[in-house]
Structures are given as structure tokens and as C-alpha cells.
Amino acid sequence: MQIRRVVVTGIGTINPLGNNVPDFFKSLDEGKSGASPITRFDCTLFKTQFACQVPDFDIRNFGFTTKDANKTDRYTQLALVAAREAVADSAMDLETVNKDRIGVVVSSGVGGLESILREAEDYNPAEGPRYSPFLIPKIITDIAAGQISIQYGFRGPNFALTAACSTSAVSIAIGTQLIQTGRADAMVVGGSEAPIWDAGVGGFNSMRALSTRNDDPAAASRPFDKGRDGFVMAEGAGVLILEDYEHAVARGAKIYAEVAGCGLTGDAYHLTSPDPSGAGAMMAMRLALEEAGLKPADVDHINTHGTSTHHGDIAEVNAIKAVFGSDASKPAINSTKSMTGHLLGAAGAVEAIACIHSMLDGIVPPTINFTEEDPEIDYSLNFVFNKAVRREVNVAMSNSFGFGGHNATLILKKI
């Protein structure tokens, strides 16, 4: 079987730093934090009282109807907005393209969390079950993919998958494989998440995973800094249009980058903690490089998983050092989660889009909020702290690691 090349021909996002790709890129370059006090529910009694929210979001402001709003959870609404931008950006002729050959893998880590919690809160046993007929379609994690498929009539492979915080990176990898093996000509891929509700914040608080820096939310996400005390929860969506290279060239599409390599592994170690040896992360990076036919020295930029948790940041740095060896100080290393917060299942797709920005515009956004070195982290690596740097990026690596030991590494390359 001839393995086909896969390229990115469209991108779309809505996240705490912007309602579209240009605004997102601008905020990244400015080192803007998306963190602010939570407004979506009363969090007075919660240990964490802030998050990275999409401000004033209403799907009806993006060309969708009230009926669309009533039938969908917030996570699906965010996915529909990002997909609309990505499809439009691809300039695909929806009247003539073969929709049987276009699929959708847009996924979520937790799905319609808010919808199920709202319905549970409204349930009164004395009155009997009175649930919305839209409840199940609103909460399932595959419905964003289904809604996007319906919106555009895409009849190719259509599903979602869940791999915790690696969800959308794995979705990109699987979409890539479907095109590589000839099962589709194009795929709409990515992820969406809307976890900022009481049980979402409360659950992560109970795990001691979230920052509690309530006095200064904008400075709370601080990957690789000694003072980091957990991640900042975020919401949003990222969607990419992947396409067979020959198919894209034949229709004169603009090409952002090639998805050159994908590495997927499991830690087989712990429910929530990363393997301190970094073995799974190392293997994911090595597999992605091998598939891309590249050496560590070829990588110009790494957008790390970099969540701002104590053990996670250390394990990832050690894994990078082990994989890159004497070339470990070459790639410019950042964590855009310092600005966006942690988008959970949507993180990998949004960060892949950030990598495309670095390749397209020759700029590596900073890891903000860095003030103090941690003796457990090797700062001889080429970290980009607090201020963006100009740099030619021909090859970018993006890491995503999730609860359950799910590891995903993507390598994007200029054509």
C-alpha cells in the first residue's frame, strides 16, 4: 500500500485567547493570559475560583440559531464554531467536492458535562423523571463530530475518541492515518471541551490538580517555574482540515504544513501521574520522529504538554533530554498552556494550531509567568520564557499527555 502524504489546509479555533485564529495568534505573541475569575457558576466555596473561559460566548453570535443553541451542549457549540472557521479557511468547494470521501474525527475528553449536571440538579424524584429529549445527544462525546458531519454533509469516517488530555492530538493522528491509507481524501479533526462547571472544577480540586492562586489568576499557570502549583482549567475548541497532498494540490489549496509524524504510546503506570522515567513520552517522540524520517537535530520547536504541575513538567523535560541528547538545547521550547490554560481534550489541536503559527510567521510564543528556577529542571534547554522570540521554524513537535497514561506526539513540517 502506498502511504499518502497528509497536509493541513484549514484551521479554526475559539479559546480563551481569541474567537478566531488571527486573534488567537495575536494574543499568543503578546504573551496574554486568558485566566480570570470564574463567572459561569458560583464558586465562592471552591478552592479554585478562576479559569480560562471563552468570554461572553453565545453561539448565536456566530451565525447559528436559537434552535441550534437549545439542542447542543456548550462543548459542541464551541466545536461547531471552530469547524466553521476551519472549513471556510480551507476554501474547499462544498458544491463539487466528494463528501463521501471527507470524514470527521472531532472529539472531547468529557463531553457535555454541564448539560448532564444541569439535568441532574433539576431532577425531583417526587415528580418522576422529566428529562430533555436532547439530553443524551447533548452529552455524548461523539456528538460534536456528528453535528459537524450533518452541518456539511460529510459522509466519510465519522466518530470520536477519548484519550483524556491527549484526545485531540490522537484525533489528528487517527485522521492522518485514515488519509494515509486511502480511506478518506480529507478529514475534519480536532477537539472541544467545556469543563468549567462545578463538578469539573470540584473534581480536579479534589485531586489537587488545579492551581489555587486565586489572588492572581493571570499568573497562575506557570509551567517549568518553581512556584507552579497546578494547571488552570480552560475551555475551547481547535479544528484542522487534513487533506491528501495530491488532492490539495489538484484543487489549488493553500497548505500550512505536512503532518509528518505521529507517535502514540501508553505509560501503563498510573491513573493520573506520569511515569517519572518518562518512558512513554520518550517512545511517543521517537516514534513520531521515525515516522517523519527526521532526526532530533531537525526539530526547531517543541510545544510541550507543559501543564504547570510539579511532576508532569519534570518528567517531560527529562524525556526531551533523553530523546534529543546532545541536540536538546536546539529546539525552542514553550508551553502555550501558560496563556490558554489547559484545554483538556481540546489542548492538542489548539497547540498544533499554535505550532502552525510558529511555522507560518516565524515566531515562537512565550511561556509566561516564569520567575524562579526549579532545581529539578535543566534550564540548559532552549526555553522561551516571558517574551516571544523570532525564529525560523521548519519542523515543530507538539506533545500531549493524558490521565490514564495516554501519550501523543505530532510532528508538523513545512512543505
Dihedral angle over CA of 248, 249, 252, 255, nearest 10: 60
Catalytic residue among 43, 247, 262, 342: 342
Catalytic residue among 165, 262, 355, 406: 165
Taking alpha carbons only, the member of 411, 366, 413, 409 closest to residue 393 is 413
Q: In what order do the strands lie in the sheet with 257-266?
A: 102-107, 186-193, 236-244, 6-14, 257-266, 406-413, 395-402, 301-303, 332-334
**Can 165 be counted among the known catalytic residues?**
yes
Query: What is the 8-class DSSP label of residue 100?
Result: G
Taking alpha carbons only, the member of 237, 276, 264 closest to residue 166 is 264
Q: Could you give the CA distance from residue 353 to residue 23 in angstroms, rounded to a whole number?
A: 13
Catalytic residue among 247, 301, 305, 357: 305
Is residue 161 within 8 A of residue 402, CB to CB? The reply is no
**Can 43 be counted among the known catalytic residues?**
no
Separation in Å, CA 277 to CA 305, 310, 351, 414 = 16, 14, 24, 32
Separation in Å, CA 25 to CA 110, 212, 239, 349 = 26, 28, 15, 14
Positions annotated as catalytic residues are: 165, 305, 342
